[in-house]
Every structure is written in structure tokens, then in C-alpha cells.
Amino acid sequence: MKNDIILSGVGGQGILSIAATIGLAAVANNLFLKQSEVHGMSQRGGDVQSHLRLSDKPVASDLIPHGKADLIISVEPMESLRYLPWLSDKGWLVTNSNPFINIPDYPSLDEILKEIKKIKNHIIIDADGIAKEAGSARSGNIVILGAASPYIDMPFESLEDAIKKLFGKKGDHVVETNLKALRAGKEFSVT
Amino acid sequence: MKRVLLLGDEAIAQAALDAGLSGMYAYPGTPSTEIMEFVQSSKDASDRNVHREWSSNEKTAMESALGMSYAGKRAMVAMKHVGLNVAADGFINSAITGVNGGLIIISADDPSMHSSQNEQDSRFYGKFASVPCFEPSNQQEAYDMVFEAFEVSEKYKLPVLFRITTRLAHSRASINLRETIPQKKLSLPVDPLQFVLLPAIARIKYKSLLSAYESLRYESRISKYNNFKDGRRRDLGIIACGIAYNYFLENVGESVNDFPVLKISAYPFPKELIKDLTGRCNEILILEEGAPVLEEAIRGILDDGIKIYGRLDGTVPRDGELNPAIVAKAIGLPLSYGQDVPSLVKMRPPSFCNGCGHADMFKSLNESIKPYGTGHVFSDIGCYTLAALPPYNAINSCVDMGASVTMAIGASDAGLFPSVAVIGDSTFTHSGMTGLLDAVVKNSSVTIIISDNSTTGMTGGQKSHATGRIEQICEGIGVNREHLRIIVPLRKNHAENVRIMKEEFEYKGVSVVIASRECIQTATKRKRSEN
């Protein structure tokens, strides 16, 4: 088993929570794991990405080689396209449909979505809208994780357990809304 | 055995705690910051009463760690690579004094300059100081090596340099933890003159440092972190240093036994192991994350020995960090590639946060400096360096910590008027204060704007030594009270702030404008924790 996942978005959008959730689940499943993060300067409203590698064998490189990613999970649509050199031809791209516009020359959303739809395996999800319905506008990132979960080779329950562990300190309400968000995302993908 | 998921930085911090650390010293700097942050938030550190406060800069951190070592206890100091330049005086001389308690200096290099001004390779400093240098290839090795580094440090009574790079520092992996070693007791050096580098003593100590180098070479030869593994091929042998070894393994996969490979993670260079490899192969490829330190040594000036591929002949790019693709190409393996990035994808450079006080300060600065034209503003290292980018285009320099103040002095000496420095609060107490003293003593015609967000912002909001003290410091250094102005960079104060800045630009002497407003990120965090 091998899952090479690229997480992408804009600094502050919560890709590290997605990474932490998958990471906890991977440890619980006794998988080998490497997860490379971006800290420092690029956090300030710049593009950020994380390379997350899960395997039943030891993982050598902290970085995913080009053309080998099985999955891109993106919290922002334009950012999902930035990592296409890494996506394998059988890989999936799962992205939020809601743009984060903090640059003056942000392209037209229609054009971006057109490009995403050219990718053979793609899922575009209104994560912000679904998160709001789930009762927490801030759980958009977890909705996207839910939407990507069918393409991660771990039992869905282990992601749920990881959410419970990760958000446990913040109280039952936060855990519940995030679980709702995760399930709603999965629902969107599988139906 | 206990297993935990840790960043490379965190693995080093946990290892130090498990190896009986008594004092952790650091100044924040990407990619090293998380080492101290982990120690500060660690329950183990708090239970064991490990010293864990930030220092004003890397030099004070280095020297405090040396003091902890003098007192017989294990100490660690962590910094980014350019921080080692700041700490270099103490670092180089600590090799001559030697240590008492084990001392590890972590230098986190940033090849490709993700968050830095250069990509210097700290291994040069290891050779420069004639001390052992470790370069882990992965997070588990980083954890384990800390134990050995303390042992080597105490065995040879030398500080040990521990070089990591961004990808190792900021990548998480699952780590097997060892049993905890108790802290050492206070015990002073046997020789009361060990740390007294008077020339007569230093000469003797330097000779013994030089003679120890051969023993260090022997340590490198037998180190479990340097391994030579023969392979089937004779046409090409590989030397992979530190994290480069991972990219090698990633690429060769199942055919790992094809290549004779020497992994190097402990320095000085293991000469005999290198000869083992070069004696078996017609050609060799050297993979190093950072500068061609080993490659230059093996080639020498004449470069008339075995055929060598590496960074110096263009097989590997001369600059920038390695990645799986670069290494695949260098070994001659096929490259994989997804699809090109569609042309509509735009750059998204980092920018000021919404509600950032620096942004309002720069708006006022830009308006007040406008009549004088461009080229008057020296700046420094921190979030505010982003003002070099549009729409601000507000600053003309960013060189090293504190250089805004001193460059403004030099340019003013040359006749530039007005000559303005913009420096953050934490950078000011790191290296700006001595420059300000120069300005006061010479009565330079400079305006120094201290953009005070009451935190070390760029690295994620660590405590700033300047908080609540800047005014007193400036007064103490001798800035005239009438030209020590305090402003609050808010949009509603814009006109007033422009007026104050203009007044101070016109003053022919030292003036300091403190623009104080808490960082929006730390303010949000603080409010959240208060609720």
C-alpha cells in the first residue's frame, strides 16, 4: 500500500489540520509516514503545500517525486492546479470550489474550474457551503478531507477517530461538527 | 518502545530532553524555531526543570549554552544557518576552549532559501572550527544522533555541530524513543584555566585541538552513521551526504543493491571509507544537500583523479536544494512527470495579514518620504520585509539582522538625506541596539522607525525581548527624548503619523519613531487563549 498525497491551499486555510488528521490515522493503522510542511515566510497569505506520504513500507524521501502523487487535496481551486506536475495519470484531484482571492490578478473562476475539469479524476466540492450546513463554517477543510477519504487507503473510521483525538481538547461540540463535516464531504463524493 | 509522530526539529528537541539536557538556548529562525518551541511546551522539560527561555540573539544563546556546559551540564543551542554567523565568534572559540558538559550546536540550513537571505552550508563551519559535525539523513537518525553527539562532545571535550536542512526540520515522521538519561550534576572544569583564552593558553589549546582532529577522523570512520555498502555495478559509485541519501533510496527502490554507495552523516570526512568506494568504481557521483563541500575536497585543486559527477560539473544544479527528480536525473534514471501547471495559475507571494500594523506604518512612511524621492529606506529581517513587494515598494535593503540601522548611518555619512531605517522590535533587540549607540555617539542624521508588533512575528509569534522595553532602551542609549516619538499605526492616525515622520526626517540628528501595535496573529491567539 502506498498513498502519496499533496495538500494545498493558502496560508491559514487549515491544510495542516488535514495533514494532522491523516497523520494520526496513519499512525493508528501502523503505517509508515512522512509529512513535509511549509513553515515560515510563505505562511503569510502565500501558497502553501504539504507532502504527505503513507506506506506499509518505510518511506525514504520527504518529498513526493513528480508524477507520483495519488491524490491532490486542495482547500483552494487555483492552488489545486499548481501541483499538477506531481499528479500521477491515475491520481485524483479533490478541491474546494471557493476561491481565496488575495492577489490582484486572480484568474476567472470559470477558467480555473474548466482547467480542473480537464483532469480525468476530479472532484469539485463547495466545501464552505457544506461546512456551513454542518454547523461550522470553519470546517471547510475537513469537508474536503471527507470528500477525498474514498481515495485514501485507510478505513474511514480511523479518520473519524483521528478527528476525535485531534479536536478532543476543544470540546464535544467541535468534535461533533468536524465529524459531521467529514461525513458530509464523504457523502458528496460517493453519491 | 514508545513511538511518536514528530517533526525533525521536534525529534531533536525530544532527543535532547531524553539525553539529559539541562539548558536549551535559541533565537527563532526558520527552519530551526520548532526545536525551542517544542522544549518550551514539553511536559518533560517542565517536570525536569530544563532551562528554556529564548535569547536576544544567536550569539547570546551560544555563549549561554557554553556557560551551561562550563558548569558541567548538557546544553543545546539552536539557530538557523545565518544565525551561526552571528554566533560564530563564540562558536569558533568554543572549539578552542573545549567544553565541560556536552554541548550541541544545531544549525538549520535553508537551501533554496525558502525563508532566508542565503543558502550557506554549515558544514563549512564544522571544518572551520575543527569540530565534529553530524548531518542526519532522516528524523529517526536525527533523534538517535543527539545521544551520540552528546557522548562525542563529552569524550573529546569539544562542541559538536549538528547540521540539518529545511526538509528534515519540517517533515514529520514516526520516531522510536529511547530511555531517558538523568541530567548531569553541577561540576566545574578540572582545569580552572580551560576557558581562559589568553594567547599563551590559547596557543597550547589550539595545538591540542589540531591534534584531536585525527582522532575525530577515526570516529568518523567507525561511526555507525557513515556506511559503505558495495553493489553490483563498477561503472558508478555514489556518495550521498545527509538527506541526499533518502533521495537516492527513493529513486533506486528495489534495485538498491546495484550501486556501491557510501552514506556520510558524520564529519570530518571518513577518508578511508571514501577510498573504499573510489577504489572499486570507475566514476563517482556526489550528492550533497547544500554546497559541494565534500566534492571540492575530493576534487582538490588539480581535479586529476577519478571522474567525479556532482554540483561542480553541472550534473546536479550548483545551487538550490535537492529533490527526487534532480537525483534521478543525476543517477541516470528515468524521470516521471505529471502535467504542466496551466498558464492561468498566478503567483501568490506572501503578503501582510489583514489588520497588520506594519502595513499602516508603511502607508504613512510612503506618503511622508515621497517628496524626497525613492531610495531612502533601509530595512531589516522580519514580516515587514514584505514591504519590498508591490503595492508598497517601500524599502531598499534587507541584508542581515540589524543592518537597517547601520546602513542608514553609513548612507547618511555619505550624504544621503533623509536616511531612514525600518526595523522590527525583535530584530532591534537582536542586533539593532549597538547600531543605535553608534548613531547616538556620532550624532548621525538618521531616522529609525521601530515597527513594534510586540512579537517575533515572521517565525510564528515567539516572545520578543523588546516588548515593553523599547522606549527605555532608546532613552538609555541616549536618544534625545524630544526625538523619541511614539505612534500607533492605525488608519485613523495616518495624517498625524505622516506629520510626525516628516518632522523627524527633517531633524538633523538621531530620531527614533516607535510605531507600536500588536501583531494581529498574536493578538488573535492571545484573545482566544484568554477566553
| Mutate: best of A59, A62, A101, partner B, most B CBs <10 A | A62
Q: Tell me the residue type at A43.
A: Q
B341 with A84: Cβ contact below 8 A: yes
Evaluate if residue A114 carries a pLDDT over 80. yes
| Secondary structure of chain A as H, E, C letters | CEEEEEEEEECCCCHHHHHHHHHHHHHHCCCEEEEECCCHHHHCCCEEEEEEEEECCCCCCCCCCCCCEEEEEECCHHHHHCCHHHEEEEEEEEEECCCCCCCCCCCCHHHHHHHHHCCCEEEEECHHHHHHHHCCHHHHHHHHHHHHHHHCCCCHHHHHHHHHHHHHHHCHHHHHHHHHHHHHHHHHHHC
Q: Tell me the residue type at B301.
A: I
Q: What is the DSSP string of B415-474?
A: T-SS-EEEEEHHHIIIIIHHHHHHHHHHT--EEEEEEE-SSBTTTT-BPPTTTTTHHHHH
Tell whether A101 lies on the interface with B, counting CB pairs under 8 A: no
How many angstroms separate the CA of residue B226 from the nearest CA in chain A? 17
Name B303's Cβ contacts closer than 8 Å, sequence gap at least 6.
none
pLDDT of residue B254: 86
B346 with A105: Cβ contact below 8 A: yes
pLDDT of residue B175: 94
Q: May I ask the CATH class of domain A2-190? A: alpha beta
Tell whether A34 lies on the interface with B, counting CB pairs under 8 A: yes
pLDDT of residue A41: 59
Cα A104 to chain centroid distance, Å, stands at: 26
ipTM of the complex: 0.94
- Classified as helix, coil or strand, B485 is strand
pLDDT of residue A137: 85
The string of pLDDT tens digits covering residues A122-166 is 999 999 999 999 888 889 999 999 999 999 999 999 999 999 999
* Contact list, B324 vs chain A (CB under 8 Å): 61, 63-66
**Contact residues, A window 37-56, toward B, CB-based 8 Å cutoff:** 37-47, 51
| Secondary structure of B358-423 as H, E, C letters | HHHHHHHHHHHHHHHCCCCEECCCCHHHHHHCCCCCCCCCCCCCCHHHHHHHHHHHCCCCCCEEEE
Q: Tell me the residue type at B395.
A: I
Q: Quick check: B35 and B26 in contact, CB under 8 A?
A: yes
Tell whether A170 lies on the interface with B, counting CB pairs under 8 A: no
Residue B307's φ and ψ, nearest 5 degrees, are -70, 125
pLDDT of residue A138: 87
Per-residue burial over A26-54, b if 16 or more Cβ lie within 10 Å, else e, is: bbbbebbbbbbbbbbbbbbbbbbbbbbbb
pLDDT of residue A191: 85
pLDDT of residue B32: 97
Section A180-186 average pLDDT: 96
Strand ranges for B166-207 from DSSP E: 171-176
Q: How many CB atoms lie within 10 A of CB A104?
A: 8
First to last CA, chain A: 25
Evaluate if residue A85 carries a pLDDT over 90. yes
Q: Are strands B21-26 and B377-378 parallel, antiparallel or unpaired?
A: unpaired
Q: Tell me the residue type at B418.
A: P
Gyration radius (Cα) of chain B, Å: 25
Q: CA of A86: which chain B residue's CA is closest?
A: B338
CA A127, CA B208: separation in Å to the nearest integer? Answer: 66
* Band of pLDDT at residue A25, cut at 50, 70 and 90: very high
B114 with A111: Cβ contact below 8 A: no
| Mutate: best of A21, A39, A93, partner B, most B CBs <10 A | A39
Q: Rounded mean pLDDT of chain A? A: 94
Evaluate if residue A44 carries a pLDDT over 80. no
CA B219, CA B206: separation in Å to the nearest integer? Answer: 20
Gyration radius (Cα) of chain A, Å: 15
Evaluate if residue A43 carries a pLDDT over 70. no
> Residues B196, B210, B239, CA angle at the centre, nearest 5°?
130
pLDDT of residue B231: 95
* Every domain of chain A and the residues it spans: 2-190
Domains belonging to chain B, first-starting first, are 3-222 (3.40.50.970), 227-331 (3.40.50.920), 357-526 (3.40.50.970)
Q: CA of A10: which chain B residue's CA is closest?
A: B348
A80: closest CA among A15, A167, A138?
A: A15
* Contact list, B171 vs chain A (CB under 8 Å): 34-37, 51, 62
pLDDT of residue B87: 98
Q: Which residues in chain B show pLDDT less than 50?
A: none
Cα B396 to chain centroid distance, Å, stands at: 24
Tell whether A112 lies on the interface with B, counting CB pairs under 8 A: yes
Evaluate if residue A42 carries a pLDDT over 70. no
- Classified as helix, coil or strand, B531 is coil
Q: Where are the alpha helices (DSSP H) in B1-156?
A: 8-18, 33-41, 43-47, 58-70, 81-86, 88-97, 123-129, 139-156
B351 with A47: Cβ contact below 8 A: no
pLDDT of residue B58: 98
